[in-house]
Amino acid sequence: MADVSIAPPAPPLTPVEFLIPRWFAHGLFEVTPERLEALGIQGLMLDLDNTLAEYYSTDFSPEVSEWLCAVHDVGIKTCVVSNTHRVARLKSLCEPCGVGYVLGVRKPRRKGFRLALAKMGTPPERTAIVGDQIFTDVLGGNRMGLYTILVPPLSHKEFFATRWVSRSLERVLFSYLDRCRRTPPRVPDLRASESDSPVRPENIGP
Ligand SMILES: [Mg+2]
């Protein structure tokens, strides 16, 4: 793995900054192993529903399986942190791909993140989380000091509370950020040339 340093320690986050990811990615496959290595990431937490697989899917797509293999090939450890109650589905998705997982996760509570850090054996400052929701993945990851990466949801099919509550609040947040012309803090230089407007509500989904 490349011996590079991640962004220097940041000042404490303001309440709004806890809701802002450090990287707004256009999709999961934009988060390449090479970019993770360049950020010094050694461990990667992954949300499951609508990040790795659609809500009702019982398989990863071939592209997601290939992406997971590529991440593992560069030595980055992975662990799914999902609020799902469907444990059998979680196991059947993760185990064939060699992806770790933890049970009893209730994002944005910190317990599940701590379990995942212990499972991977990586420090928070060298660990990232990829997820599709602000109020679970990003908020929880920022509370833990992880490098937070937001991706658009794979599908509009979601748990009803997610669809009617969380997404509505996300729209309010991004409307506010857009009006304030706020940009996510500490956007890495690595992708600066690829995203001239880091706040992209259109990438957050409906
Ligand atoms: Mg999700």
Query: Per residue in 67-95, pLDDT tens?
Result: 999 999 999 999 999 999 999 999 999 99
Residues in the chain, overall count: 206
Residue with structure tokens 């658009």?
152
Residue 159: inside a domain: yes
Residue 180: inside a domain: yes
Residue 48: inside a domain: yes
Report the separation in Å between the CA atom of 183 and the middle of ligand 1, taken as the mean of its atom positions: 23
Residue 73: inside a domain: yes
CATH of the domain at 188: 3.40.50.1000
Residue 181, amino acid? R
- What residue numbers bound the domain in which 106 lies? 17-192
pLDDT of residue 9: 53
Q: Which residues fall within 8 angstroms of residue 8, CB to CB, at 6 or more apart?
A: none
Residue 197: inside a domain: no
Residue 105: inside a domain: yes
Tokens of 161: 């509370």
Helix, strand, or coil (residue 10): coil
Tokens of 108: 């944005």
Report the separation in Å between the CA atom of 55 and the middle of ligand 1, taken as the mean of its atom positions: 8
Report the separation in Å between the CA atom of 178 and the middle of ligand 1, taken as the mean of its atom positions: 23
Tens of pLDDT along 89-98?
999 999 999 9
Report the separation in Å between the CA atom of 121 and the middle of ligand 1, taken as the mean of its atom positions: 24
Q: Mark the ranges of the chain whose per-residue pLDDT is less than 70.
A: 1-11, 181-206
Residue 3: inside a domain: no
Residue with structure tokens 């969380």?
166
Residue 1: inside a domain: no
User: Ligand 1 being an ion, which residues bring their Cβ within 5 A of it?
Assistant: 47, 49-50, 132
- Cα distance from N-terminal residue to C-terminal residue, the chain: 37
CA gap 141, 143 in Å, rounded: 5
Which residues face 49 on adjacent strands? 53
Report the separation in Å between the CA atom of 46 and the middle of ligand 1, taken as the mean of its atom positions: 9
**How many folded domains does the chain comprise?**
1
Tens of pLDDT along 28-51?
999 999 999 999 999 999 999 999
